């Protein structure tokens, strides 16, 4: 059965093209949304919309996403930066823009396709199903950084159990709008589907428990660089939690507005990076710690802020 998404246009998105707004709101590629629009699958009040239509605040758009066709996982020669490897797992440094596994609008060009070019499907865990060989967790498309991949079923089951027991330390770096007042803080707020925008997440009373810890790393004028501990792992958790306290992640197309959505000069993507993973090896004998330095494009943004403001580093 096709999936039907109903999306209300917020005031902050008024004036955008329909294809761009729907792609950002639904988390789909723009080219895929354009194909759906060409098939007449995007409507407002029952009338099909063009890709170039300008959306108005308060309008409700309905998008029909057809059921995914069977995935034919094909190896693709996509470069992967492996920062750690043993007989049980790989830890890769995923670039921004790379989708973790095939999904509607992303049938190829994913991390899974890259993994299959490295080894045949039999070389990865199958616990999560054929479409997700070795996958135990994911990062949003626009988030960069560390991601674990299991090499066989026992390792995949072990890593999934660690994640469920919250025994994998996951630390992120994020540039957020405004000056965060507390040097150290903890956000505890349940997350679930946004009742007004079903393609987004929000802090809602009936949501699942979610906890994010943070520490100020550096103050940079109108922006703050945070180090974050992802204690639970809800969809879009860091982005939703930070937006809920008035400090959205710079460059966030879903949860930020205005200046924070545009980000500081030179920013072309979401400023969120998974920089450190820490876990105990499957044999219990080693502590595995992997780190991925901030990508050059994000480092350049920080450099620009440091040169134009009296940034104060906090260690």
Residues with catalytic function: 140
Percent helix, strand and coil across the chain, each to the nearest 5: 20, 30, 45
Cβ-Cβ contacts under 8 Å for 280 (sequence gap 6 or more): 162, 167, 286, 287, 288
Three-state DSSP state, 278: strand
CA pair distance 16, 18, nearest whole angstrom: 6
Three-state DSSP state, 258: helix
Q: State how far Cα 31 lies from the chain centre.
A: 19
Q: How far is CA 39 from CA 23, 42, 48, 262, 302, in A?
A: 15, 8, 9, 31, 43
Q: Phi/psi of residue 74, each to 5°?
A: -120, 140
């Amino acid at each position: 059965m096709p999936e039907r998404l109903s999306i209300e246009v917020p005031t902050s998105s008024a004036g955008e093209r329909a294809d761009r707004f729907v792609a950002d709101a639904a988390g789909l590629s723009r080219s895929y949304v354009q194909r759906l629009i060409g098939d007449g699958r995007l409507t407002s009040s029952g009338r099909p919309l063009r890709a170039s239509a300008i959306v108005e605040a308060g309008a409700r758009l309905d998008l029909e996403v057809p059921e995914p066709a069977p995935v034919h996982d094909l190896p693709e020669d996509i470069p992967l930066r492996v920062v750690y490897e043993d007989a049980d797992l790989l830890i890769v440094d995923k670039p921004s823009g790379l989708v973790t596994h095939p999904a509607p609008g992303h049938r190829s060009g994913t991390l899974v396709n890259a993994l299959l070019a490295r080894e045949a499907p039999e070389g990865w865990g199958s616990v999560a199903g054929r479409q997700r060989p070795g996958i135990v967790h994911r990062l949003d498309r626009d988030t960069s950084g560390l991601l674990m991949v299991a090499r066989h079923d026992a390792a995949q089951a072990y890593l999934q159990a660690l994640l469920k027991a919250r025994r994998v330390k996951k630390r992120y770096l994020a540039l957020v709008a405004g000056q965060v007042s507390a040097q150290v803080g903890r956000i505890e707020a349940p997350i679930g589907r946004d009742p007004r925008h079903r393609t987004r997440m929000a802090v809602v009373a009936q949501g699942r428990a979610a906890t994010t810890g943070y520490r100020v790393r550096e103050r940079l004028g109108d922006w703050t660089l945070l180090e974050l501990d992802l204690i639970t792992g809800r969809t879009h958790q860091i982005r939703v939690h930070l937006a809920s306290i008035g400090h959205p992640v710079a460059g966030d197309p879903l949860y930020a507005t205005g200046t924070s959505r545009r980000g500081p000069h030179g920013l072309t993507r979401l400023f969120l990076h998974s920089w450190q993973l820490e876990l105990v090896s499957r044999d219990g004998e080693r502590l595995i710690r992997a780190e991925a330095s901030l990508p050059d494009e994000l480092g350049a943004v920080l450099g620009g802020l440091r040169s134009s403001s009296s940034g104060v580093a906090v260690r």
